[in-house]
């Protein structure tokens, strides 16, 4: 069988996401089954699990030689990045999903031999899909996105995860003080999407590979920096403190958190 083109893969992934959205909306009409994972702030629902199973089964049927890294454990235990590696977060922002029934996303990324190729962030309730990659460009639904303005820290809004502020880690309160203001959304996917549109100039959080896999591809395609918090490269198989930033905001922030 000849390998599909990236444009064909892109169209296929979009059909999966539309089907998953329909599933999630249907499941939201009945009570959620909510469990704690590591504690009361780390939740998983029947919908997270069912949607991951659905997406993993579609990926396996479409691309049987791939590896799949999924948050809820229905994929493979991925230890190397050779070949096609799909990264799946079936519901990003589960706390928002449970408490707000809004402001959550689905995310899928495709890496080939460690290179980010395609990324998808689907804001489910807004029905807005951010998609693309280095060879396609980045789209908000069907509209191509252009590079966000390269704003300095003092000129833009920052999103920094709650624990980094409440625990006053890495001098983050000073980063907020020097910025135009703090925003917090509770979904890495939604936060990445606001970076893509230029509504935020930095996002800092401790993240797992499925939290940043798709956003990294889309953000880097638009010229944003996606690194460890000290500015060094991320590993796509490791959890880390991640900083997404415009080039100027990164230059301003690195000496502050030094």
In three-state secondary structure terms, 134 is coil
Annotated binding-site residue? 112: no
Residue 156 binds which entry of ligand IPD, Ca ion, none, CB below 5-8 Å type-dependent: none
- Under the binding rule (CB under 5 A), the answer on residue 92 touching Ca ion is yes
Looking only at residues 193 through 222 of this chain, which bind Ca ion when binding is defined by CB under 5 A?
211
Question: Within 10 A of 254 (CB to CB), how many other CB atoms are there?
Answer: 15
Q: Residue 84 and residue 182: Cα distance in Å, rounded?
A: 37
We find the least distance from the C-beta atom of residue 10 to ligand IPD, in angstroms, to be 23
- Under the binding rule (CB under 6 A), the answer on residue 205 touching ligand IPD is yes
Q: Which stretch binds ligand IPD (CB under 6 A): 122-130, 146-154, 206-214, 244-252?
A: 206-214
Residue 161 binds which entry of ligand IPD, Ca ion, none, CB below 5-8 Å type-dependent: ligand IPD
Contact 145, 138 (CB under 8 A): yes
- Under the binding rule (CB under 6 A), the answer on residue 93 touching ligand IPD is yes
Q: Residue 83 and residue 70: Cα distance in Å, rounded?
A: 16
Q: Binders of Ca ion: how many residues, by CB under 5 A?
A: 5
Q: What is the largest CA-CA distance in the chain?
A: 56
Residue 205 binds which entry of ligand IPD, Ca ion, none, CB below 5-8 Å type-dependent: ligand IPD
Q: Write the DSSP assignment of 141-205 as a string of letters.
A: TTEEPPPPP---GGGSEEEE-HHHHHTTGGGHHHHHHHSSEEE--S-HHHHHHHHHTTS-SEEEE
Binding test (CB under 6 A) with ligand IPD, winner from 20, 45, 67, 161? 161
Q: Residue 71 and residue 40: Cα distance in Å, rounded?
A: 18
Q: Which stretch binds ligand IPD (CB under 6 A): 6-14, 114-122, 185-193, 241-249?
A: 185-193
Question: Which residues share a beta bridge with 110?
Answer: 86, 118
Contact 69, 78 (CB under 8 A): yes
Binding test (CB under 6 A) with ligand IPD, winner from 10, 72, 92, 220? 92
Residues lying near Ca ion in the complex (CB under 5 A) are found at 71, 89, 91-92, 211
Q: Which residues are annotated as a binding site for Mg(2+)?
A: 71, 89, 91-92, 211
Residue ranges in contact with ligand IPD by CB under 6 A? 71, 89, 92-94, 161, 186-188, 205-207, 211
């Amino acid at each position: 069988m000849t390998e599909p083109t990236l444009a064909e893969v892109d169209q296929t992934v979009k059909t999966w996401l539309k089907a998953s959205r329909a599933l999630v909306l249907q499941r939201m009409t009945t009570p959620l089954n909510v469990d704690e994972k590591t504690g009361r702030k780390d939740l998983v629902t029947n919908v997270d699990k069912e949607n991951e199973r659905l997406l993993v089964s579609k990926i396996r049927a479409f691309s049987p030689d791939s590896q799949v890294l999924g948050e809820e454990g229905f994929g493979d235990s991925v230890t190397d990045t050779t070949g096609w590696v799909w990264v799946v977060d079936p519901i990003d922002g589960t706390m928002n999903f449970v408490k707000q029934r809004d402001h959550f996303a689905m995310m899928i990324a495709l890496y080939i031999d460690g290179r980010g190729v395609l990324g998808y962030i689907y804001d489910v309730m807004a029905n807005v899909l951010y998609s693309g990659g280095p060879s396609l460009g980045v789209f908000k639904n069907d509209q191509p996105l252009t590079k966000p303005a390269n704003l300095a820290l003092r000129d833009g809004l920052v999103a920094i995860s709650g624990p980094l502020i409440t625990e006053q880690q890495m001098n983050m309160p000073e980063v907020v003080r020097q910025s135009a203001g703090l925003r917090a959304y509770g979904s890495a996917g939604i936060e990445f999407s606001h970076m893509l549109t230029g509504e935020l100039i930095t996002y800092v959080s401790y993240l797992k590979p499925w939290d940043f896999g798709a956003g990294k591809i889309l953000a880097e395609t638009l010229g944003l920096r996606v690194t460890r918090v000290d500015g060094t490269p991320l590993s796509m198989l490791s959890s880390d403190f991640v900083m997404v930033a415009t080039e100027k905001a990164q230059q301003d922030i690195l000496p502050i958190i030094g």
